[in-house]
Amino acid sequence: MEKKTGYTDLDGTRIYYEITGSGPTLVLIHGFTLDSRMWEPQVKIFSQFYQVLCYDLRGFGKSDLPTGDPYSHSRDLKLLLDHLDISKAYILGLSPGGMIAIDFVLQYPEMVDALIPADSGLGGYNLIEFGKSLEGVVELAFSSGIDEAKVLLASLDIFKPAAMIPDVANQIWNILADYSGWHFINEDPAISLEPPSIQQLKNIDTPTLILVGELDSAELHDVSNSLHEKIKDSRKEVLSGAGHVSNLEDPEQFNTMVLEFLAGL
């Protein structure tokens, strides 16, 4: 299927995007240190039914690095959709991509027909255990360099289920190898939603599918439970046998859950 690629200038920053397929728009937002390539197993299937929009978040993939100026990931997405003349979309994000999707629906509810946070973080929820692990990655980046920090990151518990699947481990590493490491050694001026999303979940009335891998961390299972409890029109699905990068670890299960949810709207 033909893929359209391009860049758009958002507040002086170039953002890379890809569009595949036709129909209602489904936006896919990638995870930390990864980029739009992580959605390859989804684009192949979803583009048979939807116009799939993947893009590299500011600071990742082919998009520009942040400058010293404050910015907002959700505003970046809003400007990208405006640039592409897309007024409404289904929004799916994994890990911090899920957190961005949640922030986006709270800020621009009229633009979202469905919300799908997968193995998601949540603004205002402190991931204590992962935060401690990430501190070690940052310390190593400063003491031994970014390449060593990437190796440590890939070995963290959160990636262990993916590491057990050689093809998935290779795919994640190939993307991680291209990551600049900018966030390891710089203070990211990204603006958080205020009040944080965790305090605003009851305001979400968009149909929501919450996905979480069975083997994902206890903290992210807690996030998924909070989302399900507080978002009125929500359902939660656990991907059996999958960990944090559930879309790559079990794409068939992941894709089926997403497509069945969207078809039922």
| CATH number for position 64 | 3.40.50.1820
pLDDT at site 105:
98
Average pLDDT over residues 229-240: 98
Above 90 in pLDDT, residue 12? no
Average pLDDT over residues 2-29: 96
- Find out whether 62 and 26 touch, Cβ atoms under 8 Å: no
Does residue 154 sit within a domain? no
Residue (of 120, 8, 105) closest to 53 by Cα position: 8
Average pLDDT over residues 209-226: 98
Q: How many CB atoms lie within 10 A of CB 143?
A: 9
What region, left, alpha or beta, does residue 193 occupy, with left being phi > 0 and alpha being psi -120 to 50 degrees? beta
pLDDT at site 68:
84
pLDDT at site 151:
97
> What is the helix, strand, coil percentage profile of the chain, to 5?
45, 20, 35
For residue 63, the enclosing domain spans: 3-124+188-263
pLDDT tier at 103 (50, 70, 90 boundaries)? very high
Strand partners, 93: 29, 117
Q: Residue 232 has what DSSP assignment?
A: T
Helix H or strand E encompassing 246: helix 246-249
Number of domains in the chain: 1
Above 90 in pLDDT, residue 184? yes
Residue 84 identity: L
Average pLDDT over residues 177-200: 96
pLDDT at site 2:
85
